[in-house]
């Protein structure tokens, strides 16, 4: 059976750089406060009207496709991971297919937030292994900046996130020992509301409160966005930071060790760990927990913030461009996020 190799990789970062100092114009915060809690110094925001989750994905995809030595017409399937699609529906996958003038191929959208790219990689891997597809475009792209609360009230969430996109082309390989070795996916919805966007549109959230029992005019009125909901910031993402942190520092190392144990490997075998860039403190905790050297862990959250589904492919691309990933290296990717979901993937480059 063939394995799946990453044949090409690309990323796109918007030009607009927003530093911690810049955020002081909108909220009560300091560079020291943000760096101490997150490690973030700056992030990039897409142009408000000219750039979207899809347009950034297209730019990253063009680079990945070129580096794979193929054309857009050679792609036979798309897997697109994002929590910030251009439209509630249709998904971004078909928009990429249109923008790159591809054949009438299948396009699948993945909604697993921070774990989205690893989930997408796992799905694509299965299609390659079965021989169903030969060239799969796997994308992680996010435009968070349009939906954040840039006030002191929302600073605990808003200072974390940035925009960007990353993409890889997955191909089959018969080369022994190369490609995706294994992927490991998990979820636990018991604490889903601790990191969520309750009201993505104009409807109220019925998982948080009791659903309306009838459809009288008054009841129907409760189902739509009210001034009170806006006043309480219920139209913005919510995160219980300490609770998410406590869960992440358990599941992150756990899912990494699951991948290593499955394949009879140890942390010493890891050439480089590409963690989801959620918080530098989480990455540092995981590094310490697993006794990894500094050169075994790649972090770039300092420059881009948390780009959720895009963070791993952006970091993977940068690590490769910097010569930190070479043929034969063992690369581990791991993520934890909303859902809760968490995942890992081991790849022999």
DSSP code of residue 280:
H
Contact between residue 149 and residue 239 where contact means Cβ atoms under 8 Å apart: no
Instruction: Using alpha carbons only, give the angle 44, 45, 47 rounded to the nearest 5 degrees.
Output: 135
Q: Which residue among 11, 112, 306, 332 is the active-site one?
A: 306
Contact between residue 293 and residue 235 where contact means Cβ atoms under 8 Å apart: no
**276 a catalytic residue:** yes
Angle between helices 311-321 and 116-129 (to 10 degrees): 80
Instruction: Using alpha carbons only, give the angle 102, 105, 108 rounded to the nearest 5 degrees.
Output: 115
Phi-psi region of 227 (alpha: psi -120 to 50; beta: other; left: phi over 0): alpha
Q: Which residue among 92, 276, 279, 299 is the active-site one?
A: 276
Q: How far apart are the first and last CA of the chain?
A: 18
Q: Which residue among 11, 92, 112, 114 is the active-site one?
A: 114
**92 a catalytic residue:** no
- Rounded distance between C-alpha atoms, residue 69 and residue 71, angstroms: 7
Whose structure tokens read 């021989």? 131
- Find the radius of gyration of the CA atoms of the chain: 20
Q: Calculate the CA dihedral of residues 193, 195, 196, 198 and round it to 10 degrees.
A: 50
Instruction: Using alpha carbons only, give the angle 71, 77, 82 rounded to the nearest 5 degrees.
Output: 105
Active site residues: 114, 276, 306
């Amino acid at each position: 059976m063939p394995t799946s190799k990453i044949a090409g990789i690309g990323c796109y970062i918007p030009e607009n750089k927003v530093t911690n100092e810049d955020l002081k114009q909108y909220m009560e915060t300091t560079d020291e406060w943000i760096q101490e809690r997150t490690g973030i110094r700056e992030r990039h925001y897409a142009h408000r009207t000219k750039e979207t989750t899809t347009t950034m994905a297209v730019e990253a995809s063009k680079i990945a496709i070129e580096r794979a030595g193929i054309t857009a017409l050679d792609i036979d399937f798309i897997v697109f991971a994002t929590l910030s699609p251009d439209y509630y529906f249709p998904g971004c996958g078909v928009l990429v297919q249109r923008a790159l003038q591809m054949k009438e191929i299948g396009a699948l959208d993945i909604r697993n937030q921070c774990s989205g790219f690893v989930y997408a990689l796992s799905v694509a891997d299965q299609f390659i292994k079965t021989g169903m597809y030969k060239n799969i475009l796997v994308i992680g792209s996010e435009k968070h900046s349009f939906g954040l609360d840039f006030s002191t009230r929302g600073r605990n969430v808003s200072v974390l996130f940035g925009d960007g996109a990353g993409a890889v082309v997955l191909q089959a390989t018969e080369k022994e020992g190369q490609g995706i070795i294994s992927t490991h996916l998990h979820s636990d919805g018991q604490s889903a509301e601790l990191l969520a966007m309750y009201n993505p549109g104009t409807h109220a959230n019925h998982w948080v409160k009791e659903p309306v029992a009838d459809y009288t005019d008054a009841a129907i009125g409760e189902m739509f966005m009210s001034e009170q909901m806006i006043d309480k910031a219920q139209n913005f993402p919510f995160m219980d930071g300490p609770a998410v942190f406590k869960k992440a520092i358990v599941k992150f190392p756990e899912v990494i060790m699951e991948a290593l144990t499955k394949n009879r490997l140890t942390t010493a075998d890891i050439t480089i760990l590409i963690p989801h860039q959620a918080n530098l403190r989480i990455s540092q905790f995981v590094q310490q927990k697993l006794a990894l050297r500094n050169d075994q862990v790649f972090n770039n959250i300092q420059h881009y913030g948390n780009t959720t589904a895009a963070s791993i492919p952006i970091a993977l691309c940068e690590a490769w461009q910097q010569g930190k990933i070479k043929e034969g290296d063992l690369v581990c990717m791991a993520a934890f996020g909303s859902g809760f979901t968490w995942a890992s993937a081991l790849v022999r480059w």
